[in-house]
Amino acid sequence: DRAVRAALLRAAADRLDGARAHLVEAADAETALGPVRLDGELTRTTSQLRSFADLVDEGAFLGIRIDHPDPAAAPPVPDLRRMCVPLGVVAVYAAGNFPFAFSVPGGDTASALAAGCPVVIKAHPDHPATSEFVLALLRRAAADTGVPPEVFGLVHGFDAGVSLIGHPLLAAAGFTGSVRGGRALFDAAAARPVPIPFHGELGSLNPVLVTPGAVAERAREIAEGLAASMTSGTGQFCVKPGLVLVPAGEDGDRLVTALTAAVSDTEAGVLLDARIRDAFLAGVTERAALEGVATPVTPGAAGEHTVAAGFLTVDAARLAAEGPHDLLLEECFGPVTVLARYDGPAGAEALLARLPGNLTATLHLSAAEERGEGDAAALLE
């Protein structure tokens, strides 16, 4: 019943808000993301739940369509009616860097419940206790609204996650995480006797193109914004800018100088777990060893458990040609970005043409430049 779905979503939000202080404390103990960041994320999460409740009340998501019969049409049109119905159980694979918004109570869970589907969440190993805490609150919300608590399920561990995608009752899956992990689950979903939809967010490079006009106009401002963006959350946001195209020449040099100062002033941070830290350090070492790569501020280990932010620079022409530098076009999770110095519009366009799909793309223009100028904007789109 749609009214019950909406009530459940709102009750879940209320239960989470009521336990806010304890939830933030638990999540911070497991992720080290900090109480300020986590409190804001929890607010986002409860807002998502209430927003989906509003959508359920509205009903437009049902896609109801009625085509009335028309015997005079060629061919004749019968009475046709359509609406969306819930398919069944949805698996949600939680993300490590968002213990609330992309985890047990996150957007995928809210979406599935709004559609009328029960959920089984595969908890992320970086915050298992927080996941269990949230599950208990969601099941209390179910009791508050007369819904069976089993509408929420939770499993832990790699093997359970693999088994879940093959379960015959599963109707769809949502995943946020690495390309490698997501592709493995996608392949498993497609290989089932009855394939199911797999909705995955599998990493992103998030390219940034700075035009000659923009860098001449505000090199320092762009550099400071870039430094803040690439180091936010210790570089563990899925929209972190991982590749920045900067013009060659003196204006571009000013941006590099300003970025060097801004990144150098950034304090060391803690990554979500030792596995992610090891992968970050190995990835940085491998990238920095490539021919022609410079490290104005070297990213890497800053202590036994922390990492320091930094960036790499390289000629865009090396990235435009296939070869070992293709590694620089893959996401490196953590506080690092790659600056590709390009020479003229053709140099930028040749590199942009090689990029895969991304969550975001950013274009910095000068005040005098028009939004639609050149092929670069079209390539980013």
**What is the sign, positive or negative, of the torsion defined by CA atoms of 117, 123, 127, 132?**
positive
Q: How far apart are CA 342 and CA 302, in angstroms?
A: 31
Q: What is the DSSP letter of 203?
A: -
Cβ neighbour number for residue 308 with a 10 Å cutoff: 21
Q: Which of 132, 201, 217, 369 is catalytic?
A: 201
Q: Classify 341 as helix, strand or coil.
A: strand
Q: How many residues does the chain have?
A: 381
> Dmax of the chain from CA atoms?
79
The yes-or-no answer on residue 84 being catalytic is: no
Tell me the one-letter amino acid at 209. Answer: L
Going by C-beta distance under 8 Å and a sequence separation of 6 or more, which residues neighbour residue 357?
none
Q: Helix and strand tally (H, E) in the chain?
A: 13, 16
Q: Classify 157 as helix, strand or coil.
A: coil
The yes-or-no answer on residue 224 being catalytic is: no
Query: Residue 120 burial (CB < 10 Å; 0-12/13-18/19+)?
Result: buried
Q: Which of 30, 41, 117, 238 is catalytic?
A: 238
Question: Which residue, 307, 288, 281, 294, is CA-closest to 246?
Answer: 294
Q: How far apart are CA 288 and CA 252, in angstroms?
A: 21
Cβ neighbour number for residue 161 with a 10 Å cutoff: 22
β-pair partners for 220: none
Task: Look at the block and give the residue holding tokens 């092929």.
Answer: 375
Query: What are the catalytic residues?
Result: 201, 238
